[in-house]
Chain A
Amino acid sequence: MDQGIHIEGLSKRYGEGDTAVDALKDVNMSIAPGEVVGLVGPSGSGKTTLLKCLGAVIEPTKGRMTLGGEVIYDSAQDGWKTKDLRALRRDRIGFIFQAPYLIPFLDVTDNVALLPMLAGKANGASRARALELLQALDVAHRAKAQPSQLSGGEQQRVSIARALANQPPVILADEPTAPLDSERALAVMRILNQMASQYQTAIIVVTHDEKIIPIFKRIYHIRDGRTVEEAGEGREIS
């Protein structure tokens, strides 16, 4: 499996000596392009730490990460392969948050187009890309609206479009359905599945939302910093 995201022996320790805490212990994961997997675990199990390591926000203590066929981190070879983690996040990792966290002073199009613009693409091309994604996510009719004028579901769809804007090989979704009711949560999951398939993006969904857990075909359970892979029900969303 060359593409997608692969994690081998990833560990993260906070602090030193007697106060040291091992938040992640030899975590192994492998997600193929177009695949949506669940990362499930109780509070304090290490989900957020794992997401921060995968998102190049904090540095792991040990291990190896490969993204889209390229090693991005290897503790045996000086850690991060690039010094510009900001560019790595911008170009190769998409983020979806629990709340949409759209930029309130940008309209819907520019919220999505901001990422390609930050990557140096022309304004016109960035906006065209944004409109294409908004079309795919069925929110193109709100392209000129401000985030505050959108419903919760529409805001989450815009945040998904933003995550896809730079065509990253992986999207990290941090409890994206937590604030939504069942119907909307399932709608978001349907969209994530469609987008993963359409754009061949690997998507990791951190959740403890019982409503959506049966949808995943594969689930990683995380407890005390260790992950266990398990086959999911892969239930179809009606």
Chain B
Amino acid sequence: MISLAGRDILHSWGKFVLTGFGLGLLIGATLTMAGVYRGMVDDARALLNNSGADIWVVQKDTQGPYAESSSIKDDAYRGVLGLPGVAQAASVTYLTMQVRQGNTDSRTMVVGFESGQPGEPPYLVAGRRLIRGHFEAIADVKTGFRLGERILIRRHGYEVVGLTRRMVSSGGDPMVFIPLKDAQEAQFLKDDDAIIADRARTAANPALNRPGVPGLLDAVTAAQTINHSVNAVLVRVGADSNAATVAQDIRRWKHLQAYTREQMEEILIEKLVATSAKQIGMFLAILTIVSAAIVAFIIYTMTLGKIREIAVLKLIGTRNRTIAGMILQQALGLGLIGFVIGKISATLWAPAFPKYVLLETADAVRALVIIMVVCALASTLAIRTALKVDPATAIGG
């Protein structure tokens, strides 16, 4: 038996391809939305992987440093280092800001780290690591910065000496790595006028500017301008140590919050990304419904255009299941054309998105199954209409 659906598609392939193209763009948008979610999750995982830490030590009663703000003293790492099972511990700061280069600026996450310690970018794609203690930077290629360029963070210029890749914040902003001390200063660095105003305000305070206490005013002014806070301490545990046990010890003895890799992943993915995931889920649901409505409308319209042929087919003895199969196969064929065009479109335009879009094969397979089911359901209206066609309409008009 010949495939009536296949012949009809071949006969009016232009109509099918054009319709499939429109549907494909919609499916492409749906796949991209799923890719945006996957990209967010992957960004979060990349952030954790690239930090090179087994434990994140943050301010007590916070879920920092990524989901909430966290501030701890920059000597906290010393106490952590003394605990059994801790191999390495280092302070880090995170600050999301606009970094300027020439006349343009990029939204980045500026990371302060210490060379050779957790928090340092694990690999470079160009250039070198930081050698000097100040005013050098390593940038993610997504920032668009090039080796040797000077970038402006707050009031200080930094030379880009190294480039890295896939170093992004949980929000997808590319990272710029600078020395910890510079980052600490940058976090609270004020402009010149504000510093002068603060100094004058302190000097005007008789409690802080006593004539009989020389050096007091200088000490207070220095304390106001030097920042001794960091956002977190990243801990790497020894080969034989258990991260959960070490984190427990940190919580118990250091009065700080400590999260293991699993706990931090839960915070990032199930809390930080959760709202965005729901948002994307809503979009996916709406796009699926719209796709179903479009397929149903197209197949229904195509079927209405073949009412006379269907009446003739029924009159000459074609079984209902053959006619239903023809319409179902056409709906599935349309879905398949749409899927192929959608997959190609999503693959082509995903790299152009400013944030990472991760198109997973498993998602594509899931999408294909959903599209086929949606197309099958969408064809039921057309099938019902076709089965109601009276073969007598072929006779006598």
Contacts and interface: CB of A to CB of B under 8 A. Distances in A.
Co-assembled chains A and B: yes
A106 interface: yes
B396 A48 contact: yes
Contact of A55 (B308, B315, B319, B397): B315
Contact of B312 (A90, A97, A105, A172): A97
Interface in A64-103: 86-87, 89-91, 95, 97-98, 101, 103
Contacts of B316: 89-90, 95, 114-115, 118, 162
A123 B2 CA distance: 8
A7 B263 CA distance: 87
A113 B7 CA distance: 14
B270 interface: no
Contacts of B395: 48, 51-52, 55, 57, 95, 97, 172, 174
Contact of A87 (B10, B317, B392): B317
Nearest to A87: B317
B4 interface: yes
A86 B11 CA distance: 27
B157 interface: no
B394 interface: yes
Contacts of B317: 86-87, 89-91, 115, 118-119
B396 A174 contact: yes
Contacts of B313: 103
A106 B394 contact: no
B318 A118 contact: yes
Main secondary structure of the interface of B (DSSP, over half): helix
A81 B109 CA distance: 84
A51 B395 CA distance: 8
B8 interface: yes
A104 B11 contact: yes
Given A86-B314, A123-B2, A146 B397 contact: no
A104 B10 CA distance: 11
B12 interface: yes
Interface in A36-67: 47-48, 51-52, 55, 57-58
Interface residues of B, number: 25
Contacts of B12: 105
A101 B394 contact: yes
Interface in B306-350: 308-309, 312-319, 322
Contacts of A97: 312, 394-395
B239 interface: no
Interface in B371-397: 391-392, 394-397
Interface string B281-322: 000000000000000000000000000110011111111001
Nearest to A174: B395
A187 interface: no
A51 B396 contact: yes
A154 interface: no
Interface string A155-178: 000000010000000001010000
Nearest to A148: B11
Contacts of B318: 86, 90, 118
Contact of B2 (A58, A87, A98, A106): A106
A174 B8 CA distance: 27
Contacts of A57: 315, 391-392, 395
A117 B1 contact: yes
Contact of B394 (A47, A87, A95, A113): A95
A35 interface: no
Nearest to A110: B2
A101 B396 contact: no
A204 to B, nearest CB: 12
25 contacts: A51-B396, A52-B392, A57-B391, A86-B318, A87-B317, A89-B315, A89-B316, A90-B316, A95-B316, A95-B394, A97-B394, A97-B395, A103-B312, A103-B313, A105-B4, A106-B2, A106-B4, A113-B2, A115-B317, A118-B319, A118-B322, A119-B317, A146-B11, A174-B395, A174-B396
Interface of B: 1-2, 4, 7-8, 10-12, 308-309, 312-319, 322, 391-392, 394-397
